[in-house]
Structure 1
Amino acid sequence: MDEGKAFRDLHAATFVMPNPSDIGTALWLEKAGFKALATSSAGFAFSQGLADGAVGFEAMIAHCKDMAAAVGVPVSADLEKGKGDSATSAAETIFAAEAAGLAGCSIEDFSGDDGRPIYDFSHAVERVAAAVEAARSLKRDFVFTARAENFLHGRADIDDTIRRLQAFDKAGADVLFAPGIADEATLATICQAVGKPVSVIAPRDASIDRLAKAGIKRISLGPRLTQAMFGAVNRAAREILDRGTFTFMDDALPFGELQGLFSR
């Protein structure tokens, strides 16, 4: 199977792409019926006892390689800003992602510099253009997602965000993504302003149908599944420590189901 093409074809309609932080969860989600998966930079960091942004690029690529090898569905990756700040490093990120067996990846315009968290417009576009050129040079299909990070870093500027997404679209990005925006009317405005599929992290009060009506093609979960898993552990721990009981086990998956899935 050409996983890049299969992944691209999913964007013809609205679909959900969950973000497991480990291989076991990835296998379970594949079994559940999801047609594509993605890594989560924050989810993986939390699973390793690290803060978001604290996982180095090589460690993240190794994680992505493990995830892509473990499942039979396309895997895309959240690769943060990539290997570095330059346009050349953005292209190198694509080559590393393809070598890891990924069907696609995303690169951000977040610099990692708290003083200037968002790359200047022209530099951000140069990075996207270099990543697109690298993706087009591959021998197999590869879906490149360009991310505009304003709303995650204190710049709630919808005009600049749309301007960036439109420029990323023109530069050839396959999918566009502005995380941190949950308002459905704003999402619809973004979808109408660009010509490529738009991705979103599922808002708490949204639904697949409503997001589809807004024009969204891809719904991811970011670190939400990892947060939910930590939430379940937290509730269990609090019950044990505060009440001295163990009813949290009622919601646990049966041991046999997990044993059966992983006894391959």
Structure 2
Amino acid sequence: MSKVDDFRRLHHGRLPGDPLVLPGPWDAASARVFAEAGFPALATPSAGVAASLGYADGRTPAGEMFAAVARIVRAVDVPVSADVEGGYGLAPQELVERLLETGAVGCNLEDSVDGVLKDPREHAEWLAEVRRAAGDRLFVNARIDTFAHGDGDPGQAIERAAAYVAAGADCVYPIGAPAAVLPLLRSGILGPLNAGGRVDGEGPSPAGLGELGATRVTFGPGLQRRATAALREISAELV
């Protein structure tokens, strides 16, 4: 079984309370830590990678992001999915080719630009082009930004999810959706559902998010930021 087939399999047949937990490595060293801990797959966070490279979130040049993803992939044996934001303005075919060159098995693609939601039909058409270019070689996670940059209407999130799934997305991610809304989203969305977890002890645990309907849980830059906070404490003790 190929890594992408293994990654896709991990999203199906999940029991309530047992979501796929995907920590987000920001460099090769953190990727090795997560793989050695026993996680079956990883999902890079664009904001965490940006911070490790010295950029603000959303400002990483495409070449540097793909190079960082490639280093992470080379460091571990488990499947790695890559957050490549809005695709960096690349045509679908080139985006897919560059992702495959890194060795990534999947990608996270968002439906907003500079905090403004894209037209859902146009975005669905673009996702369909990505799907055609990728075939079954990439697992596509379509991020839905209605809670982050829209009015937070669950109905709108469900409508976007339906359009993206119809376009070929393997999973949808309504980023920023309150935990209390997950059961409603679950009832209206076909296929795997990504929820955002926290590492600060606030909100439901990954198992709790699974019980509310999440198929998989990712943490964005949360782990990188927690590691940075720990380094600050260590540094303060050394000064």
What TM-score do the two structures reach when normalised by structure 1? 0.82
Find the structure with the greater CA-based Rg. 1
Aligned counterparts of 2:211 and 2:196: Cα–Cα separation in 1: 16
2:178 is the alignment partner of 1:191? no
1:57 corresponds, among 40, 58, 62, to 62
2:156 corresponding residue in structure 1: 160
Q: 1:103 aligns with which of 79, 102, 105?
A: 105
Alignment of 1:236-247 (within 5 A): 236-240=234-238
- RMSD value, Cα: 1.7
- 8 Å CA contact 1:118, 1:150 repeated in 2: yes
**What amino acid does structure 2 have at the position aligned with 1:162?**
I
SS in structure 2 of the partner of residue 76 of structure 1:
strand
2:238 & 2:75 partners in 1: Cα distance? Answer: 34
Q: What's the CA shift for 1:213?
A: 1.6
Equivalent residue pairs, number:
231
Query: Contact 2:85–2:110 (CA<8 Å) still a contact in 1?
Result: yes
Secondary structure at 1:222 match in 2: coil
Alignment partner of 1:200: what SS?
strand
Shift in CA distance, 190/104, structure 1 to aligned 2, threshold 3 Å: same
Q: What amino acid is aligned across from residue 151 of structure 1 in structure 2?
A: F
For structure 2, the residue ranges without an aligned partner over 5 or more in a row are none
> CA offsets per residue over residues 37-90 of structure 1, 9 Å max, x none?
111110011112221011011111111111111110000000000031xxx723
Show CA shifts across 1:188-220 (max 9, x none): 211211111011111432123222222211111
Provide the secondary structure at the position in 2 that maps to 1:97. Answer: helix
> Displacement of 1:173 after TM fit?
0.6
**Are 1:61 and 1:96, in contact at CA under 8 Å, matched by a contact in 2?**
yes
SS at match of 1:219: strand
Correspondences of 1:1-264 after superposition (within 5 Å): 1-12=1-12, 13=14, 14-84=19-89, 89-112=91-114, 114=115, 117-136=116-135, 141-183=137-179, 185-203=180-198, 204-240=202-238
CA 145–91 in structure 1, closer or farther in 2 if over 3 Å, else same: farther
**Alpha-carbon distance in 1 for matches of 2:165, 2:205:** 26
- CA deviation after TM superposition for structure 1 residue 158, in Å: 2.2
**Cα pair 2:193 2:214 within 8 Å, conserved:** yes
Which structure ranks higher in relative contact order (CA pairs < 8 Å, sequence separation ≥ 6)?
A: 2
For residues 209-259 of structure 1, give each alpha carbon's deviation from its aligned partner in whole angstroms, at most 9, with x where no partner exists.
222222211111110111101111222334455xxxxxxxxxxxxxxxxxx
Instruction: Give the whole-Å Cα distance in 1 for the aligned partners of 2:207 and 2:118.
Output: 34
- Residue 128 to residue 193, structure 1, CA distance change in 2 (3 Å): same
TM-score of the pair, normalised by structure 2: 0.90
- Identical-residue share of aligned pairs (%): 33
Unaligned runs of 5+ in 1: 242-264
Q: Note if contact 1:83-1:90 (Cα within 8 Å) is conserved in structure 2.
A: no
SS of residue in 2 equivalent to 1:188: helix
**Contact kept in structure 2, 1:3 and 1:103, CA below 8 Å:** yes
